[in-house]
Amino acid sequence: KIASISNLLLFSIYSDEYSLIVFDNSRSAKFFMDCGDGVELCGVLTVESGLGSGNYEHDEPCVHGLWPENGSYGTSDCDAPDDTSDPTSVYTCYEESGDDDQDIISFEVHEWEKHGECAGVEDEDDYFTQICSMAKDPISIMSSTRSAGGDIYDMQSAVEDAGYEVFSVDSSNAQLLLSACAKNGQWTLAAQDDFSSVCGSSSLQDNGSSHPFYQQQQRSNLRH
């Protein structure tokens, strides 16, 4: 019986995720991501506004996942982790979805197996820790905008005004896809035009720490 419940749970999650995959396929031609010279990994940090329907309806904005844009979505490599073990605990930035722990862990497993195992990280803990760190400031901005009565496009403007690039907007599920790139397994929110300088093999030895996107992210982490 427990196995049957788990299968139903996964079917529910995968069914809603399938609607997102359909959206992804439709956007791939228009929103193809080019990592740029010397950049092996690039992708999007996807943050839900909570204003969608079904599994995309929440009381507050929350993180969806970090997706390397490889294959038909972009030029990113798919770099396997050192350890492919699945997550077994709830990460703080996923608690904001309001779902129960088992639902969240099942969704984390899905995100890890579908996207995380191409992200060039050490393991699932590295993957989700980086997601929560990057998502902290955008979620805060989106929450403030939503509290003021804003919709997904108001949230887009607020996030962009704060210096983050919105690569695309999934209006069907009311979520924002923020541009990001990685170097040596470390992901950073950055504008696509800046990927080479922030994450490229010829970027500064400080791994882009002098770049304004990086500095803004570090200041945000200190504030929280």
Torsion sign (Cα): 183, 187, 192, 193:
negative
Share of the chain above pLDDT 70, in %: 76
| Residue 221: pLDDT over 50 | no
SS3 state at 208: coil
Whole-model pTM? 0.79
Cα 110 to Cα 16: distance, rounded to the nearest angstrom: 12
pLDDT, average across residues 157-172:
98
Give the mean model confidence (pLDDT) for residues 3-18.
37
Q: How confident is the model at residue 30 (pLDDT cuts 50, 70, 90)?
A: low
The predicted-structure confidence for 41-59, as pLDDT tens digits, reads as follows 999 999 999 999 999 999 9
* pLDDT 10s digits, 62-93: 999 999 999 999 999 999 999 999 999 999 99
